[in-house]
Amino acid sequence: MNGLGGLNKSDNGVVLGMVQLQLTHVETPEQLAAQTQKIVDMVAKARRNMATMDLVVFPEYALHGLSMDTNPAIMCSMDGPEVAAFKQACIDNDIWGCFSIMEYNPDGNPWNTGLIIDNLGEVKLYYRKLHPWVPVEPWEPGDLGIPVIDGPNGCKLSLIICHDGMFPEMAREAAYKGAEIMLRTAGYTAPIRESWSFTNQSNAFCNLMVTANVCMCGSDGTFDSMGEGMIVNFDGSIIAHGTSGRADEIITAEVRPDLVREARINWGVENNIYQLGHRGFTAVKGGAQDCPYTFMTDLAAGNYKLPWEKDVKITDGTSCGFDKPTRSYGDKKRSAAE
C-alpha cells in the first residue's frame, strides 16, 4: 500500500518524495550558488506537486555533482549560505528536507555529509558518510556514527549514503537504534543498478524497516547517474520505483511506521533483527545471546583481518588518480606552513 503515491494520506502515514535530480557539474562558487537555487526551487516543486508530502529527499551529490573535486572554494560549512538556503526552503514550504553537501574539513579531506532539516528550519540529523566509495571517492571517513531521530509524524528516521548501503551492518545499526525508515541517498551510475535494487530490498526485509532510496539522474557529459528512486516496505516489497530514468522526477509513496512497529512486535517467523540476538529461542529460554561471529569480535578489538588480506591489490586511491595517503585516521592534516 502506498496511498496512490501519497495522494491519500492516512493518519499514521509519512509521505516521502524522492527527487531524481538532474546530474550537475560544479567547479566554481557561482555554479555552486546556481545549483543551490536549483535545489531550493525543487523543494518548492515538491510541495506544489503533493500537498501531503512530509519529507523531500535529494540524492547524494545533488549540490556538487560527481567530479570528486575537493577544492576548498566550493566546499560547504554548516553555517554557510547553502545550508542556510536549504533551511529557509523548508520553512517557506512547510516541509522536511534531506540534503547533501561536501563539508570542508580543516584537518583532512572533506566529509560527504547528509542533513535532514525540519519544516521549522532546524537541522535534526547531521551525518557524515561512514563508508566512502573507495577507491573512487576521496572523502574523510565519517565520525558521527549513524544518528536516528524523531522524524515527521512521529516516525523514527535515519540516513545513510550510497556505498554505506552495501554493508548490511549499516542498515542493521540504524534499525538496532530504532529506525523505522532509513533513507539512502546516492550518486550511483548504471553498473550498480542490480546491486542497488537487491540491497535496498534486503536492507528493508532483514531489519523490518522501510528503506527509501534515490540516486542522481541523467548525464553531466561525462558521468551518467541512474535515478532509480525506490521505496521499499518492511517486508522487502517495492512500493514505488522510478524506472523511467527521467531527471527531476519525484518518486512518491506513503509509508506506515506504525505497521513497522506492529511487525517488529508481532512477527515470529523472520523477525530477524530480534532473532539475531536470541538464537534458537524455541529450544532455549530467551535464545542464545552470545556473539558467535568472529568478524564482529575482531573488528571491535581492532583486529579485523581477512584470510586473503595480504593479497588485496587495491588498498588506496592511486588507481583513481589520488595521492597515496600518509595520514592515519584521526591524525590532523599538516598545514602548508609546517
Of 129, 137, 173, 228, catalytic: 129
Contact 20, 227 (CB under 8 A): yes
Could you list the pLDDT tens digit for every one of the 338 residues in the chain? 577 889 999 999 999 999 999 999 999 999 999 999 999 999 999 999 999 999 999 999 999 999 999 999 999 999 999 999 999 999 999 999 999 999 999 999 999 999 999 999 999 999 999 999 999 999 999 999 999 999 999 999 999 999 999 999 999 999 999 999 999 999 999 899 999 999 999 999 999 999 999 999 999 999 999 999 999 999 999 999 998 889 999 999 999 999 999 999 999 999 999 999 999 999 999 999 999 999 999 999 999 999 999 999 999 999 999 999 999 998 987 655 55
Tell me the three cell numbers of residue 157. Answer: 528516521
**Residue whose C-alpha is closest to residue 25's, from 219, 191, 189:** 219
Catalytic: 45? no
Contact 21, 42 (CB under 8 A): yes
* pLDDT in the model for residue 98: 98
pTM above 0.85, yes or no: yes
290-325 CB burial, b ≥16 within 10 A, e <16: eeeeeeeeeeeeeeeeeeeeeeeeeeebeeeebeee
* pLDDT in the model for residue 110: 98
Cα(254)–Cα(149) distance, rounded to whole angstroms? 19
**Residue whose C-alpha is closest to residue 158's, from 219, 189, 116:** 116
Neighbours of 286 (CB within 10 A): 10
Q: What is the pLDDT of residues 288-336, one digit of tens each?
A: 999 999 999 999 999 999 999 999 999 999 999 999 999 999 898 765 5
Catalytic: 285? no
Of 162, 180, 215, 254, catalytic: 162
In this structure, are strands 55-57 and 14-20 parallel, antiparallel, or unpaired?
A: parallel
**Residue whose C-alpha is closest to residue 53's, from 243, 212, 162, 200:** 212
User: Which H helix or E strand runs over 42?
Assistant: helix 29-49
In the numeric block, the cell 554557510 is attached to 80
Amino acid at 95: I
Strand partners, 27: none
What structural domains and CATH numbers belong to the chain? 3-275 (3.60.110.10)
* pLDDT in the model for residue 100: 98
- CA distances to 146, 271, 276, 278, 282 from 290, rounded to whole Å, are 24, 18, 10, 9, 16
Strand partners, 283: none
* pLDDT in the model for residue 2: 75
Cα(95)–Cα(40) distance, rounded to whole angstroms? 12
Catalytic: 60? yes
Of 60, 103, 137, 228, catalytic: 60
